[in-house]
Structure 1
Amino acid sequence: MAAHVLVAGIGNIFLGDDGFGPAVLRVLGEGTIALPGTVRCVDYGIRGMHLAYDLLEDWDALILVDAIPSRGSPGTVHILEVEAPDLVALRSTAVPRDASGIDGHAMDPAAVFATLDALGGALPRTFVVGCEAATFEEGIGLSPPLEAAVATAARAVADTITTHLATASTEG
């Protein structure tokens, strides 16, 4: 039986490189990269509650596509296997917040996972295909290093799915 994988692009297109996830999902939606029929790709943007509700379905894996804090090499794509606490830490350091710590224009993983838990759901095996960001300044459009990394990240999503499906078929 084939694994069901949810690929979720997250980020705010109005905050520069934070729009990386939605940009990668646009490329995946073009169909130039073949994905199995058991994969669903959704651009969630900043709609965290929508993601929480969709995670109530029976998924074998979740792949989040997002901009991540730079480690000094904007445009570098990383593939990380993570758990909920890792995601909260990763996302909370990525996009700067105001003094209250609340931003209505950003996805808050802690709220997503709290909602998922309250609804009786559980986070499936989770990966992040993340790209080191250059800027989260207001404005539409990715910085040149992230724009150049979009196709690489789309291929990384496909590779992660292939690897997960191969692992799932040997484990199941």
Structure 2
Amino acid sequence: MTEKQEITILGLGNILMKDDGFGVHFLRWFEERWALPDSVRNVEGGVMAYALLEPVCSCRHLIVVDVLKVADEPGSVYRFTLAEIEPKLPPPTSAHEVQFLDVLCKAELLGEAPEVVFLCIVPADFREMDLELSPLMREKFPLMEKLLIDELQRHSVAPVKIHA
């Protein structure tokens, strides 16, 4: 077994479906503003399903940035552990649809599951095909940035600002 990456930041979502791609859009924005040590890896996970098994299994701590499709005010932001988020997620709609929790379950079965924290936002519009986020989601980038930096600092990682 190779040495595990200490922390992986995983941006999830479908960038073709407006706000559903928040995690990927946010991660790209964050990478332009902050330098991170080699112990931290950024991964644009999109909707890659089981292709995410390698980055998930190869780290000790996983920080997932994604949308949370619940009946709440669009733009509401949450921090969850895996145990806290599981009851809030919808059931799978088909046996062929792989959800991210399926990837985490597979990692656990392999004995390679990392500690996981979810930083989530309630999307404003995720049903319309559009490559751009809604203005409300872009306005929430600084709040999500603060949550992510706080999470990194919990692991003694101090990002270095490279761009305002």
Q: What TM-score bracket applies, with the shorter chain setting the length?
A: 0.7 to 0.9
Question: In the aligned structure 1, how far is the partner of 2:47 from the partner of 2:141?
Answer: 19
Corresponding residue for 2:16?
14
Q: Normalized against structure 2, the TM-score is what? A: 0.78
Could you list the runs of 5+ residues in structure 2 that have no partner in the other structure? 158-164
Q: Deviations over 1:100-139 (max 9, x none)?
A: x1397x7612431343245x23321111111111222131
Note the C-alpha offset of 1:38: 0.9
- What is the identity, as a one-letter code, of the residue corresponding to 1:133? P
Q: Deviations over 1:20-48 (max 9, x none)?
A: 00011101221x12433311011110012
Question: In the aligned structure 2, how far is the partner of 1:91 from the partner of 1:16?
Answer: 20
Q: How many residues align?
A: 152
Corresponding residue for 2:82?
82
Corresponding residue for 1:136?
126
The 1:20–1:103 alpha-carbon spacing in structure 2 relative to 1, beyond 3 Å, is: farther
Corresponding residue for 1:169?
none
Name the structure where strand makes up a greater proportion of residues.
Answer: 2
CA contact (8 A) 1:46 1:107 kept: no
Corresponding residue for 1:40?
41
**1:155 and 2:157 matched:** no
The 1:52–1:24 alpha-carbon spacing in structure 2 relative to 1, beyond 3 Å, is: same
CA contact (8 A) 2:56 2:104 kept: no
Question: In the aligned structure 2, how far is the partner of 1:103 from the partner of 1:11?
Answer: 20
**1:60 and 2:60 matched:** yes
Corresponding residue for 2:52?
51
What do you get for the CA RMSD once the two structures are aligned? 2.6
Q: Normalized against structure 1, the TM-score is what? A: 0.74
Could you list the runs of 5+ residues in structure 1 that have no partner in the other structure? 167-172
CA contact (8 A) 2:57 2:114 kept: no
